[in-house]
Each structure stands twice: as structure tokens, then as C-alpha cells.
A and B are shown apart, each in its own frame.
Chain A
Amino acid sequence: MAATLLAAPEGDTAMAVDLRAKLGHVELPNPIMTASGCAGAGRELAQFIDVSKIGAIVTKSVMLSPRSGRPTPRMAETPSGMLNSIGLQGPGIDAFLQRDLPWLLSRGARAVVSIAGGTVAEYADLAGRLSDAAGVTAIEVNISCPNVEHRGQVFACNPDSAAAVIDAVRARTRYDIPVFAKLSPDVTDIVAVAKACVSAGADGLSMINTLLGMVIDTDTMRPCLAGLTGGLSGPAIRPIAVRCIWQVREALPGVPIIGMGGVRTGRDALELILAGASMVSVGTTIFHDPSACARILRELEEELIARGVDRLADVVGLAHQPPAVTARALYPSTRVSASTRVRRS
């Protein structure tokens, strides 16, 4: 990292920032994506933003069969966040391949398809179906689903179950489609799950999924959500996202990370990038600002320009560097001593 920093051309702050990001071996024009479940399959958002201008559309998790989801009420507003218990309502993979994927491709958008299932075999089947279809940029595996064959324990909560899913998905996915495992923060040791997924063949990791939460209405004295518990998202969970990304980046520095969790501004996106995310997904913020992805992309570029950074890749995981190296990135005149670099490596 330090070497690339030193080699970067200096001055010339007027030039545009190189925002290209690597999703495994696939290059995206910029790192801002939608978060799964917060943008449908992109069609509704296309009324407000050009879906081809952001890095990628991450679709709502697709399952094998159509699914009606959970009863309402399905959401509750919480301080700087919200709980949702949608229950993966969706039309199933057939409708997705017939209708949503071709639409995304026709608009020039890059499609990162999130998949969800109740058994390892379901995940594998989905991966196979997506590999047979043309145009899938990457697969994000939503392993925060109850494992039907294991008393409903969530795959993501157990390194072995998580690895079993990723292994099966990787085996059925075409070699040139990167597979990202979406991790849950509701675990004792997220690094263990991350390592298990990478060993099983994950090309990268997405983090974090929502945290399980609950709200009780003190007037009715009953839980607010019909599904009782729901996933907490929004800025309330951003520090947890930063922590998880930091820990995994520290343990697995070479593995690309899609960061998500409470990103509301370009500055928030930069925070996740500094922690180690190469790409950033925007979720709950879309609900009150449909054009949030375009705005955050613009703001991120401004934040980078303000710091004299001309290449996004230079700041990915920069918070892990010793202070002198960080200073070097921000103030090019600072000298980085050889000893600092040696100690770091």
C-alpha cells in the first residue's frame, strides 16, 4: 500500500478521482452499490437515478420459489434505524431471470444477484441457474437464512454451515462470476465465519447484514412486528459495521469486502472504505432518499478530492496503516521513513 501511495502522481487536484473498484476480478466503475433488499431489482429506483451510473445493483435476495413473506406490520422505526421483518417476499428465480435480470442488463446496470435458501441444495441450484443466465456480474450469498435441515439455525451463525453453503455455491457457479458471502454481525467471532467462507471458496465478503432486534409497543404491550423480531439497519448499526470490516480486514487483508451498514453520506462510505471495504452498499437511506446512491457517490468523490486522494484504491483499509503512512496519504510532503514501512510489513 505504502509503495503505491508513494508512486501516485502528486498535485493536480483538479483531475477526477479514479473511483474504480474491484469486485473480485471484476472491475466496477465506482464502489457504490445498493444493499440487498433496499432497491428491489433496481426498477423502482430507475425512476430517480441512472442505475448504470452506480457501481452495481445488488438485488433483493432471490429464492427458488415465489414467497409471500411475513404478515404486517413488517417494520418499525427505531432511533437512527429501523427494524424490518419482510420475510424475503419475492417472485422466485424464474420470474427474476425472465423479467428482472434482462431489464437490469437492458439498462446497462451491473447485476450483483443476492440469493437465499433454506437448504444448501437450494443455494446451489440458484447459483447454477444464475450461472446459466448471461450477464450476472457477481453473486452475493445471503446466508442469514434459517437452515431448514438444522433446526432453523441461521447458516451465517455457524462457520461450518456457512462454509457448506459457500462451498456448494462456488462449485455450481461459473468460474468467472465472483461469489461473495454476506456475513451476519450476530455472531461471537465474525472472523471465524469469514475465514470459513473464504476457505470454502468465497471470492469476497459482504458485511454486515442486519442485527436481530425487537420493539415492544408499550400501549398494546405486544411486539410491534407481526414477525416479533426484525433486522435492525440504519446509521444506528454503522459502528458495528466498521468494527466487523476492520476485524475481518485485519485477519484477511487480501480478501475484497463489500461494506454496508448505516451509510447515509459520502463521508460514511469513506469510513467503511478506510476500515477495509473496497465497495460500499447503501441500504436503509434509500427509503427516505430514493436517489441516495447517486448523491453518496458524488459526496464520496468530493470527500476524496478534499483529502487530496486521487485513487480510491489507495485509501481502502488505510485506517489499518500506522499514523505516518496515513499522514503520507493526506499530506504528500510528509516523508515516510523506511523503518516505518519495514515495521509495517
Chain B
Amino acid sequence: MTHSEIDAQAGPVQVRGTVLTVRRVDAYYAMTLVAPAIAARFKPGQFVTLAVGGPDTSMLLSRAFSIHDVRPDHGGTVEFVFAVHGPGTQWLAERRARDVLDVTGPLGKAFPLPRDPVNCLLIGGGYGSAPLFSLASKLKERRCEVDFLLGAGSGDRVFGALTARRTGRTAVITTEDGSLGSRGMVTDLLDQVIHDGRTDVIYACGPMAMLRQITVLARRYDIPVQAAVEEAMACGIGVCMTCVLPVIGSDGITRMARACLDGPVFRGESVRWDDVGTIPFDAFGAPGWEPRSRRAAEQQNGQSRGGDIRTDRAGAGRAPAGGQADRGHGEHRNAARDHADGRDADRGHAERGGIDGARGEGGRGHGADPAAGHSDRVAADRRLADRAHADGGDAAGSARGGHGHGR
């Protein structure tokens, strides 16, 4: 989102929201807040942030959650879904009716809607399906056909399977343990579902690894993907700069875009999924980055930055994202953006280590390299080495913090 757009749109508001209900929904919790100003501004795909722990809390970071639905009752309510991953979400789960929470929203860019009535496939991993149902109603208002493809680790972690079956033209469910629907991951059935539904557009929300593979598969069919990403956020409003990921702009330049402000919905092919968790060497402002004019001149001199280099780098670049990459898709943990408490989130991951480890993506032939042992330093060194290779060995000058080449 550009800055002028912030000024123009009816922006988010910070309000005191009264808890209406907190319900258990299988493995998750759904909280409904009375927050008319947020409900009135909501578009599917947007999210809210909440301050947790009360006024004297030791937990300083906002918790971000996709908005599941808004309703007109009580002047306007907002519902979101979360899983308990740490003390912050635990505190939220313990709230009761009439408690008052500090809530900000709606934040972020919404799912763009197609102009024409087309076949839409909505894919959700875990409770990443939460924002898809309000999207489905909007799509149906536009006479689009809606198919659902939902997946998770187990049946109790598929959010909204019933709603999907009731409201979608079709609804395919996959679970890794086979306890609901077919055994496997959403990406296993994606080809089939695309063929059956003659899919024109894909909307997806879930773990990064799932979004990456959906984008790769959809590219084969030339189907556009709108992916709602998850990134750890501290503020959700665009000031903290923690939720960045490499995104290619319309000008072809990769920038470290804020998931909260420029996203959370991105065009699938604009995100450099393999480089998430790294600063690609050619990103705007990366160490050694230089203005385009100079790069163009370089390329005229016959120095190529071939695709082979990028492929090679992808392996190294994965390392810092390892924790994320090897979590596996269709998996329960993520989807909404409650990653402020990364430590607890990862603990959840470790408990399932056996499952995830056994079926690591590397073994699934999707070319992912969990590379868990690599440090980012190793990755950075490799990137520099790659760069040196690409530039004909002048990386030494550029390793020194972005002041251009010493030529």
C-alpha cells in the first residue's frame, strides 16, 4: 500500500471492544468483539491487532488475527479465530463476556475481488481458512463460483469444514493423519481440484510453505494466486518494520515489504517465497545494492545474473527461514498472525517434530531444503559469495554496508 492510499482510504481505528463471546471451536478459539467502527470498515482479508495482558502486562507486542467475520448485531461485531500458542493467546482465551479489550483495525490490504463471475478456489491451511468465508460471501455476491480446499494436520484443526461444505460449490478437505477427508496435504490434491473446478483464481491463506507451493503449482496453469501471508508482527500498523518479506514491485524491483501494510494479501508470484527470511542481494537497499542505471550498464558489459545463481542461493537463503520452511503445509499452527510470541510458537512446532521431521518437505520432492543447521551468517556469506560470482568478484567493496562498489 502506498502512503497516499493510507491517506485516502477510510483507515483503521483503535477502539475499546467489548467481548461478546469466546468459544472453543475444535482445536481453536473464536472470539467475538463488539466493535462497530471496525466492523463497518472491514473488507475480507484484513486483520485486527489486540493488546494482551491488561494495563500492567509484561507482554508489549500486539497480537494480530485475521478477521473471520463481521456481523451487524450489537451495532457491529468482529469475530476472529486463534490458537493458544503462548501466554498472550492463553490470556485471550481466558477472557469472558463483557471484558473490554484494546483492539485496532481493520488493518492491511484486503483480498482483491474479480470483476467478472469466475471460478474461485479458496485454500486454507489450519485456521488460515478463517478469513476465507467472508471472502466467499463477497465472491458469491459477484456471482463467482466458490470451491474450498482446506487442510490441516488433523480433523480438529481444519477450521470451518462444515461451513465450507454448506456454502461452497465443492469442498475438499485434507488432513495429514487422515482423520478428516483425504489423507495428505492440500497441495497433493491441488491439481485435481483445479481441473475439477476449472479454477480461474486462487485465494489462499495459511503457512508460508503452503502458499509457496500453491504459487508454484498455480503458475503451471497460469492461474493468479492471492496469498495472505503470515509474518511475525510487533505493531501491525506499519511502524515497527519487523514483518517484512521480499516482494517484487510493479517496477520489477524487489523490496522488503511490510506484511502488515503492503499485505497481508500479496499476488503469489510477486512474493519471492524462496527468499523469505533473507535479504535477497538484489533487494532495494541490500548491502551492495546499486541504482538500476548502474546495474543496466553492468548487464550491457555482458555480466549476467543468471537463474542458476538464484537457484543456488535459494538453498542457502532458506536457512534462516528453516523453522518456518520445515513446518510443513496444511499444518495446524499458523494461518492467523499470532507470531508475536515466536518462542511459544516454535515450542508447539517442536512437539510435533516427529511428524514434521518424518515428512519433511525435502522428501516430498518439492525441492525444499529445510537446512535447519545453517546459520544466517552462513547464508549471508553464501549470498555474498554468489554475488561476488555474479559480479565478477567485486563483492568485497559491497560487503561493507551498502555504500556501493568501490569502483
Contacts and interface: CB of A to CB of B under 8 A. Distances in A.
B64 to A, nearest CB: 11
A216 B379 CA distance: 19
Interface string A33-58: 00001111001110110000000000
A337 B306 CA distance: 82
A298 interface: no
A44 B62 contact: no
Contact of A84 (B12, B242, B255, B320): B242
Interface in B206-259: 231-232, 234-235, 237-245, 255-256
Contacts of B256: 68-69, 89
B241 A89 contact: yes
Interface in A61-78: 65-77
B242 A286 contact: no
B61 interface: yes
Interface in B342-395: 342-343, 346-347, 349-350, 372, 375-377, 379-380
Contacts of B321: 72
B49 to A, nearest CB: 8
B237 A68 contact: no
Interface string A76-100: 1101111010100111100000010
A220 B323 contact: yes
A68 B284 contact: yes
B117 interface: no
B6 interface: yes
A81 B58 CA distance: 7
Given A76-B342, A224-B343, A287-B239, A44 B6 contact: yes
A74 B278 CA distance: 11
Interface string B274-298: 0011110001111101000000000
A86 B244 CA distance: 10
Contacts of B11: 47
Contacts of A215: 343
B277 A226 contact: yes
Interface stretch (B108-116, B155-163, B164-172, B396-404): B396-404
A86 B241 contact: yes
A148 B397 CA distance: 12
B342 A82 contact: no
A90 B244 CA distance: 12
B60 to A, nearest CB: 5
Interface residues of A, number: 57
A222 interface: yes
Interface stretch (A12-20, A242-250, A288-296, A313-321): A288-296
A215 B379 CA distance: 20
Interface in B68-124: 102, 104
Nearest to B379: A71
Contacts of A235: 58, 60
B14 A287 contact: no
A77 B60 contact: yes
A72 B400 CA distance: 20
Given A84-B240, A89-B244, A71 B320 contact: yes
Nearest to A145: B401
A219 B346 contact: yes
B341 interface: yes
B280 to A, nearest CB: 8
Interface string B1-21: 001001100011110000000
Given A65-B285, A66-B289, A289-B51, A43 B237 contact: no
Nearest to B12: A47
Given A69-B279, A287-B235, A288-B61, A75 B242 contact: yes
B381 to A, nearest CB: 13
A118 B401 contact: yes
B261 interface: yes
B286 A290 contact: no
Contact of B346 (A38, A47, A103, A220): A220
B336 interface: no
Contact of A68 (B102, B285, B377): B285
B189 interface: no
A222 B375 contact: yes
A38 B343 contact: no
A293 to B, nearest CB: 12
10 contacts: A38-B240, A66-B284, A68-B287, A68-B402, A71-B379, A89-B285, A220-B346, A226-B277, A287-B235, A289-B51
Interface of B: 3, 6-7, 11-14, 49, 51-52, 58-62, 102, 104, 231-232, 234-235, 237-245, 255-256, 261, 276-279, 283-287, 289, 320-321, 323, 340-343, 346-347, 349-350, 372, 375-377, 379-380, 400-404
What 4 A-B pairs come out closest when comparing CB atoms?
A66-B285, A68-B285, A287-B235, A47-B11
